[in-house]
Chain A
Amino acid sequence: MTARSVRSLSGALKPLFSNRCPGVYGAASCNQRQKSTYTPPPARYGGRHTVTLIPGDGIGPELGNHVRELFRFCCVPVDFEVVNVDSSVASEDDINNAIMAIRRNGVALKGNIETNHNLPPSYKSRNNLLRTTLDLYANVMHCQSLPGVRTRHRNIDIMIIRENTEGEYSSLEHENVPGVVECLKIITKTKSLRIADYAFRTARAKGRRRVTAVHKANIMKLGDGLFLECCKEVASGYPEITFDSMIVDNTTMQLVSRPQQFDLMVMPNLYGNVVSNVCAGLVGGPGLVPGANYGEDYAVFETGTRNTGKSIANRNTANPTAMLLASCLLLDHLKLHAYASMIRRAILSTVSETRLHTADLGGQGSTSEVVQSIMNAVQSTGPQTLSI
């Protein structure tokens, strides 16, 4: 446990100190890190895992409840430790508690925490704080056309790997001269190499043939140029995977005309945000796509497009698919593959039924109907379930 906290401490300190004193702290961390490959979180007692649950705002709490309901019904050996984060207070205690809970458990499922525009700029985005503190450097989103959902494009199967901790989201801004604001976009070699490595490893693991790096290096020559260079370096170590690059504006244009050409895409933070939202829109909307944030030691699962959904909160009209698929990703991560596939099959069969589609897919179904139907589908496949 101590070793882990040393690791996480240096993980938190590393971005601050980067090249200045790697020797001192680095020594302890290097040995530890190189020794272990990623192991499932040890928060396991009596065969049951403990997972942190952060309800968030908007539709987060109700969807989190549905996840718990479904897990209890399917007798999934996961217990949730709920940590509430209040987005309207300025103190960072809540989010620090949540971070500590995630450090304890290693895995989390979260709803989006709202960033109130009315609070002063010194108040950082809670979601961003969580991601950077836990060094969840890779945001993975798998956009697939679901069979039951009618969209304008078919046969989309794109994996988007987005750098999650630096880039435009460094929250470093200042106003030297009144009326002139400078925002810093930071691109570092270590993080670019890390995310490129993650992308190629994932591509290899999933049998993907092609990785496309998305950038704007014709304008941001040093920044995105560095990112592109790092991707090329890593690509040379994976000869069986084709590597190409595309400028972000051309990418978005190609995505709306011919998205089937893309296989796996890797990119810095802001382009990742835009491209993942475009892809989510192409496969059916924010209610369908789950997202995962992976770091060396922790993993946090949430909906792919990170919406709070304030306007549809507590009206039983939200689409639970994204959150439930995210919980399946969580189960896969905990190596509870049987449960994961069982729930996933049930979800996909429910999504095929048009009369159950929620408002965002053009139907009139309610959230609870969808969840009931998923539970029915699970029950009918046979394994042990609680009685409804």
Chain B
Amino acid sequence: MAAHSAVLSMSKIIKPFWGGHLGNTVKVFGTTLTSHRNKSSLTRENIPPPAKYGGRHTVTLIPGDGIGPELLNHVREVFRFSCVPVDFEVVHVNSAVETEDDINNAITAIRRNGVALKGNIETKHTMAPSVKSRNNLLRTSLDLYANVMHCQSLPGVQTRHKNIDIMIIRENTEGEYSSLEHESVSGVVESLKIITRNNSLRIADYAFKLAREKGRRRVTAVHKANIMKLGDGLFLQCCREVASGYPDITFDSMIVDNTTMQLVSKPQQFDVMVMPNLYGNVVSNVCAGLVGGPGLVPGANYGHVYAVFETATRNTGKSIANRNIANPTAMLLASCMMLDHLKLYDHASSIRNAILNTMNETRLHTADIGGQGTTSEVVQTIMRFIQSKGQLTSEY
């Protein structure tokens, strides 16, 4: 397993740099790589991780920076309280050092366990440009190609727009986030935005499959193909190809500037949206803002083999760290998504119900949604809800 994964990760890292130049090398590595990939893609589903012993799952936990550590402690607290059969393997990643050992350890741990829950790891601007974003490294090494964010208006939260229910599927590994930049002429920087047919087909396929599974009627591709004709044109073409295989789902496309404008005036028109990396970043943040802010929406990163869960807008929240005012909802809902992924549906729904009930109580709202509640109050209330439902819980 280790050897295969090493080859896999090696060729993935080499691939974007060498592209077609070392075509032969790619083929050599590629044979091992493709056969492995095809095998797991044939099953076409995210296999539950086998890190299960005695009925208890092991999940990697990466605390990250800012509010990550405290929120993840709350997650562990809630899980322990509800007797969820999940053990966390904590892996720390220090964002202040330049070596990649920490993040590589984290990646190995995730390969071992198959599932992870993470806080955001800060990317310091003051460090050299060769220090890549740790979050990005994690996503590309594990090939977590689909970032799924489900934005729903929560009943207890007052927002300017109501009845929003948008699913955003964002390509997570290529696009503008390829971290390939160079300065050929001094004072002129070229950033490469890579769009490949394979990845575009893959994400489009994921989007349509998910839409079908969840009973969604309409998929909108967001792009800027009037300007980036080849790049986003390719993405759009791939989406159209895949759409032709799903006649029950309506497919349309919209340019990203129009999309953002429509989102702020009439977000109810959108159902499922699929898009490349950067537009996904912007659109998902706009939607998160529309439903109530970064503290409410969970996000999931899925690959063929691994899954990593985190808050959708990936904020470190440095300014509110350790002050007991962060909103734990996003992280807790992300942990519920993780439980769903591990097929522990009962635990997932009980915790989710408790969270949604707690959201209804306005006096408990934290600062980001306009209240004055503290994180610990919210978590205590959630635990009380779980207890009141009568399920097995441990003593306080």
Name A's B-contacting residues (CB within 8 A). 18-19, 115, 117, 121, 125, 128, 152-153, 168-169, 171, 173-190, 216-223, 225-226, 228, 248-250, 252-257, 270, 273-274, 276-278, 280-282, 285-286, 305, 307
Contact = CB atoms under 8 A, between A and B. Distances in A.
B196 to A, nearest CB: 5
B181 A248 contact: no
Contact of B282 (A121, A175, A249): A249
Contact of B129 (A221, A255, A257): A221
Contact of B197 (A180, A219, A226): A180
B260 A277 contact: yes
B294 interface: yes
B313 A219 contact: no
A253 B197 contact: no
Prevailing SS type, chain A contact patch: mixed
Nearest to A185: B191
B225 A117 contact: yes
A278 B282 CA distance: 11
Given A19-B187, A222-B181, A281 B260 contact: yes
Interface size class of B (residues with CB under 8 A): 35 or more
B187 A252 contact: no
Nearest to B124: A218
B234 interface: yes
Given A173-B229, A220-B181, A187 B189 contact: yes
Nearest to B315: A250
Contacts of A182: 192-194, 231
Contacts of A255: 286, 289
Contacts of B185: 18-19
B233 interface: yes
Interface in B377-391: none
A256 B160 CA distance: 9
B261 A277 contact: yes
Contacts of A117: 225-226, 229, 233
Interface stretch (B111-119, B203-211, B262-270, B358-366): B262-270
Interface in B321-352: none
B281 interface: yes
13 contacts: A19-B186, A121-B233, A168-B193, A176-B20, A182-B194, A184-B193, A186-B188, A186-B191, A187-B189, A221-B125, A222-B181, A274-B257, A277-B257
A169 B256 CA distance: 14
Contacts of B188: 18-19, 186-189
Given A188-B188, A222-B183, A223-B189, A270 B224 contact: yes
